[in-house]
């Protein structure tokens, strides 16, 4: 009986948005978040152009209102992530993987929730396991708010009468 040996690719350095360097394999690094992707997500959060949650993301994809989708690597439900992967070619949006849901959470809920690093630190001081909530497995940047478009159309109709 022969044994199958896995071919290992050479590791490369990948720097996340906090400046921490991780070792990644070349095979897995193709659609990982780059610093410019993270900056774009932060700007979208600031401008309120972010949709959170897989069901809401799928709704936004179906109406062709998505620019970029961020998914936590290996954390998201496989059924939903496979649907998003299929929709990627149909609706032509960019799919980006983030290292963990905690990083995605810290970006999306910045300012409204405690950063996860503080939660973990406080839990370690008390000697308990950290409970980080709310969880954030997927986020997308929408192109333009459809509510704003609808209100503009309604105002034009009112002005004509």
Are 102 and 116 in contact by the 8 Å Cβ rule? The answer is yes
Tell me the pTM: 0.67
CATH of domain 31-144: 3.30.1330.30
pLDDT confidence bin for 53, thresholds 50/70/90 = confident
Q: How far apart are CA 80 and CA 99, in angstroms?
A: 18
pLDDT tens digits, one per residue of 77-87? 778 888 888 89
Nearest one of 33, 34, 140 to 87, comparing CA atoms? 140
Model confidence over 119-143: pLDDT tens digits? Answer: 999 999 999 998 888 888 889 999 8
Mean pLDDT for the chain overall: 75
Confidence of residue 17 (pLDDT cuts 50, 70, 90): very low
Would you kindly state where each structural domain of the chain is located, as residue ranges?
31-144
């Amino acid at each position: 009986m022969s044994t199958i040996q896995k071919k290992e690719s050479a590791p490369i350095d990948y720097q996340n948005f906090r400046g921490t360097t991780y070792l990644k394999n070349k095979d897995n690094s193709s659609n990982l978040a780059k610093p410019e992707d993270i900056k774009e997500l932060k700007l979208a959060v600031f401008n309120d152009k972010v949709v959170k949650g897989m069901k809401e993301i799928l709704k936004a994809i179906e109406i062709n209102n998505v620019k970029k989708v961020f998914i936590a690597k290996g954390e998201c439900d496989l059924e939903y992530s496979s649907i998003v992967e299929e929709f990627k070619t149909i609706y032509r949006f960019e799919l980006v993987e983030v290292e963990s849901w905690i990083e995605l959470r810290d970006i999306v809920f910045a300012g409204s929730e405690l950063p996860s690093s503080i939660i973990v630190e406080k839990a370690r001081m008390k000697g308990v396991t950290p409970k980080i909530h709310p969880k954030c497995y997927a986020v997308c940047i929408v192109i333009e708010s459809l509510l704003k478009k609808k209100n503009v159309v309604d105002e034009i109709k009112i002005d004509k009468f």
